[in-house]
Amino acid sequence: MPPTPDSVVRSWFEEVWNQGNEESINRLYAPDGLAHGLSSDGSSIVGPDAFKPFYRTFRGAFPDLRIEVLRTITEGDLVTAHCHVTGTHHGNHLGLLPTGRAVDFSGITIVRVRDGQIVEAWNNFDFLKLYQQVGMLPAL
């Protein structure tokens, strides 16, 4: 029996982001999977190999990153996850020297799952707040 869409999304955040297990990307992210709302130029990230540079940059900047899934709503093959993100800016991976500042922000993603893998995700995380907290942008 294949995993439920909800369990795939929860495994994604736990294994990939909280545990830092890069190998789980290959198992949970479809070869033709699309991630929207993560790249700085607005393009979609297609497949595990294209996702890994984003992942390495983010995990490198925040090696103690924690993403808590606060709640999910599942409808068929779609899962909406409301997340709380915390971490400390210890890495030089954002083009900014490490500040040691804590970050605390939230986000929502809608994920489509097929055959136990993420095939599309629409991400809306408060990166503005993140960039303000590390000093990349002034607070409003």
User: Where are the domains positioned within the chain?
Assistant: 5-134
Matching residue, tokens 């500040």? 99
Output the six-digit token pair for 82: 């409301």
pTM: 0.94
| Topology (CATH) of 5-134 | Nuclear Transport Factor 2; Chain: A, (3.10.450)
Q: How far apart are the first and last CA of the chain?
A: 49
In this predicted model, what pLDDT tens digit does every residue of 69-98 receive, in sequence order?
A: 999 999 999 999 999 999 999 998 888 899
Do 79 and 73 contact (CB within 8 A), yes or no?
yes
What is residue 12's predicted lDDT score, i.e. its pLDDT?
Answer: 98
In this predicted model, what pLDDT tens digit does every residue of 98-138 receive, in sequence order?
A: 999 999 999 999 999 999 999 999 999 999 999 999 998 88
What would you report as the CA-atom Rg of the chain, rounded to the nearest whole angstrom? Answer: 15
pLDDT-based confidence at residue 140 (cuts at 50, 70, 90): confident
What is residue 94's predicted lDDT score, i.e. its pLDDT?
Answer: 84
Residue type, 83: C
